[in-house]
Amino acid sequence: MKIFSAQQIYAADKFTIKKQEITSDALMERAAVQIFNWMHMRMQGAPVKIHLFCGIGNNGGDGMALARHLQEHGYHIAVYVVNYSKKRSDDFLLNLERLKERKVWPEFLDSGSEFPEIGRDDIIVDAIFGIGLNRPADDWVVRLIQHLHASQAFILSVDIPSGLFMDKGVQNPDAVIKANFVLSFQAPKLPFFLPGTGIYLNEWEVLDIGLDPEYLTNTETDYELSGKNEVLPLYIPREKFSHKGTYGHALVVGGSKGKIGAVHSASKACLVTGAGLVTAYVPECGVLPLQTNLPETMVIADEGVDVLNKIKYDIEPKVIAIGIGMGQEVSTIQAFTTFLDENKSPLVIDADALNILATNKALLKRLPKESVLTPHPKELERLIGKWKDDFDKLKKAKAFSKKYACVLIIKGAHSIVIYDGKGYVNTTGNPGMATAGSGDVLTGVVTGLVAQGYSPLKAAVFGTYLHGRAGDIAVEQSGYQALTAGDICNAIGKAFIDLFVIPKPPEVQEQAKESEQEKS
């Protein structure tokens, strides 16, 4: 699914209005009807008080039009105009008039107003600012936002939580609505997925307001979401007459005394992702544990006993994962440098190899094109420098990926794969996966995919999805706290199978759950 910028959404509006020969208020009406239907289906006429806070732009216009539909269906509403500017949009004014025609008189709030009382069990509709926010909100609006939070009522935000910018981070946390739910038009917005801004919403859903498909299909976006629909076409089926050679030989280089487990996790993940052969290259101390615990992998011992000293082998791997548990001893740094000079295979680079690259930036030039780098936030900072906010981070990450022609996987709640000026935002995964070794498994999965012939970019996007999905499947058994990297690894097979499971409609899922409960 594409993630559009604010400018692209405005352009889509224009295009749609022209092509479908409709007025802009007809588009607003569609948006309002969609929200109304969503609410009506859930509330079924319940006599809960709904407070609608509407700005004076088109987001506020949506709120006004929604208020009209709620009123027509007998809902108990109170409408407020958050009067932060004299510059009202035409469609806001039109919908204000339509509301007045129905004898609904909104209360106008400004800097001198006493704010309305809101019950804990009431519902707040937040239509104060939409994607048009372009400067920080006035102090009194910030006070209003705090007042809404203090009520503890459920907050439903229209399009985007008010106070979030589309292209910059949060400067004043008090100036942003914390939404329980966001109903966003046509496509989700980038801030929903970034750590500094995503914390302002619990859940989101997209409502289709019928923007023109021609525009939506033909417009290239800087970001897109990677869900099941996007990754399924990447899947390469296994051939009947294939053999292990078909699926590539992967080499996993890393480990040091006390950190051999990292190589175990990555190698196992590589195997269960489908690589034909996996060889682990470790210091001598790693040979016995790996041979004992992971007999399906082959092991090559470095001349170093506790750390890597040479990185010499006589196989020709299709792909090499390097860095996990490797440490940064002087001899290891030297071995890694020599390795980069001689290496011809595609690379997946993680952990200590990233830290070595960060402190010796000249080495970055020696990476083969399309190397996959998998930094967590601290490793990323060492590579690209400090950032002002998430948007600045993405800009710097894109510049880095361009400069070194590499694929970056920025690990996080929504990992983002960066390549060739574009970001692929992952949709799978859960907080249980913030656990030791989880990243080693990701490295193994991506490596396993490259071994089988996936391009590095496809391997990064698909691998990140599979890794998260495996975590989601595993957490159902383990719970968040007890989830281990081993559980994620063991669920990778199920994540593949799940690609081909067609989700049942919600009511069927509900019935299945109920009959499960009855049985137990």
Q: Is 58 labeled as ligand-binding? A: yes
Give me the torsion for CA of 287, 293, 296, 297, rounded to 10°. Answer: -30
Q: Nearest-CB residue to K ion?
A: 162
Q: Does 184 bind K ion (CB under 5 A)?
A: no
DSSP code, position 56: S
- Report whether 132 belongs to an annotated binding site: yes
Query: What is each CA distance from 254 to 7, 43, 283, 403, 416, in whole angstroms?
Result: 46, 56, 8, 26, 25
Three-state DSSP class for residue 10: helix
Asked if residue 157 binds K ion (CB under 5 A), the reply is: yes
Q: From K ion, ligand LP7C6HRI, none, which one binds at residue 55 (CB under 5 to 8 Å depending on kind)?
A: ligand LP7C6HRI
Q: Which does 452 bind (CB under 5 to 8 A by kind): K ion, ligand LP7C6HRI, none?
A: none
Stretch that binds K ion, among 150-158, 402-410, 425-433, 436-444 (CB under 5 A): 150-158
Percent of residues in the chain assigned helix, strand, coil, to nearest 5: 45, 15, 40
Axis-axis angle for helices 390-403, 377-384 (nearest 10) = 60
Is 162 annotated as contributing to ligand binding?
yes
Measure the CA–CA gap between 311 and 251, rounded to whole angstroms. Answer: 11
Q: What single string gives the DSSP state of each residue in 228-272?
A: HHHHGGG--PPPTT--GGGG-EEEEE---TT-HHHHHHHHHHHHH
Least distance CB 67 / K ion (angstroms): 14
Copy the structure tokens of residue 510.
């509900």
Task: Give the nearest distance from C-beta 30 to K ion in angstroms.
Answer: 17
Nearest to 307 by CA among 290, 328, 292, 289: 328
Q: Which residues contact 500 (CB under 8 A, 6 or more apart)?
A: none
Ligand-binding site membership of 442 (annotated): no
Q: Which does 274 bind (CB under 5 to 8 A by kind): ligand LP7C6HRI, K ion, none?
A: none
What's the closest the beta carbon of residue 150 comes to K ion, in angstroms?
18
Q: Minimal distance in Å, beta carbon 37 to K ion?
A: 18
Q: Is 304 annotated as a binding residue?
A: no
Alpha-carbon span 224 to 251, nearest angstrom: 31
Q: Which C-beta is closer to ligand LP7C6HRI: that of 89 or that of 267?
A: 89
**Which residues contact ligand LP7C6HRI by CB under 6 A?**
9, 12-13, 27-28, 31, 55, 57-62, 84-85, 89, 129-137, 158-159, 185-186, 211
Measured from the CB atom, is 157 or 332 closer to K ion? Answer: 157
Q: Nearest distance from residue 211's CB to ligand LP7C6HRI, in Å?
A: 6
- Which of 129/404 has CB closer to K ion? 129
135 known member of a binding site: yes
- Annotated binding residue 57: no
415 annotated binding-site participant: yes
When the beta carbons of 132 and 493 are compared against ligand LP7C6HRI, the nearer one is 132
3-state secondary structure (DSSP) of residue 395: helix
| Token representation of residue 364 | 């970055």
Q: Which does 256 bind (CB under 5 to 8 A by kind): ligand LP7C6HRI, K ion, none?
A: none
Cα atoms found within 13 Å of the Cα of residue 182, Cβ hemisphere only: 29
The distance of closest approach from Cβ of residue 361 to ligand LP7C6HRI in the complex, given in angstroms and rounded to an integer, is: 40
Output the smallest distance, CB 128 to ligand LP7C6HRI, in A.
Answer: 8
Q: CA 144 → CA 77, 150, 486, distances in Å?
A: 18, 10, 48
Does 157 appear as a known binding residue? no
Q: Which of 158, 164, 290, 364 binds K ion (CB under 5 A)?
A: 158
In the list ligand LP7C6HRI, K ion, none, the entry touching 338 (Cβ below 5 to 8 angstroms by class) is none
Among 83, 151, 162, 256, binds K ion (CB under 5 A): 162
Provide the pairing of β-strand 154-158 with 277-282: unpaired
Q: Is 62 annotated as a binding residue?
A: yes
Q: Is 388 annotated as a binding residue?
A: no
Rounded distance between C-alpha atoms, residue 444 and residue 262, angstroms:
10
Residue 273 near K ion by CB under 5 A:
no
Binding range to K ion, per CB under 5 A, among 126-134, 223-231, 381-389, 468-476? 126-134
Whole-number Å distance between alpha carbons of 424 and 230: 10
195 is annotated as contributing to ligand binding: no
**Residue ranges of E strands in 290-397:** 298-301, 319-322, 347-349, 372-373
The Cα–Cα gap between 385 and 176 comes to 27
In single-letter form, the type of residue at position 83 comes to N
Alpha-carbon separation of residue 334 from 186, 202, 213, 343, 378 (angstroms): 52, 47, 55, 14, 23
Q: Could you identify the residue written with the tokens 């992998």?
A: 297
Q: Which amino acid is at 159?
A: D
The entry of K ion, ligand LP7C6HRI, none that residue 157 binds, CB within 5 to 8 Å by partner kind: K ion
Q: How many residues in the shown chain lie near K ion by CB under 5 A?
A: 4
- Point out the annotated binding site for AMP: 411-415, 439
Interface residue list for K ion (CB under 5 A): 126, 157-158, 162
- Point out the annotated binding site for (6S)-NADPHX: 58-62, 130-136, 159, 262, 325, 376, 440
- Point out the annotated binding site for K(+): 59, 126, 162
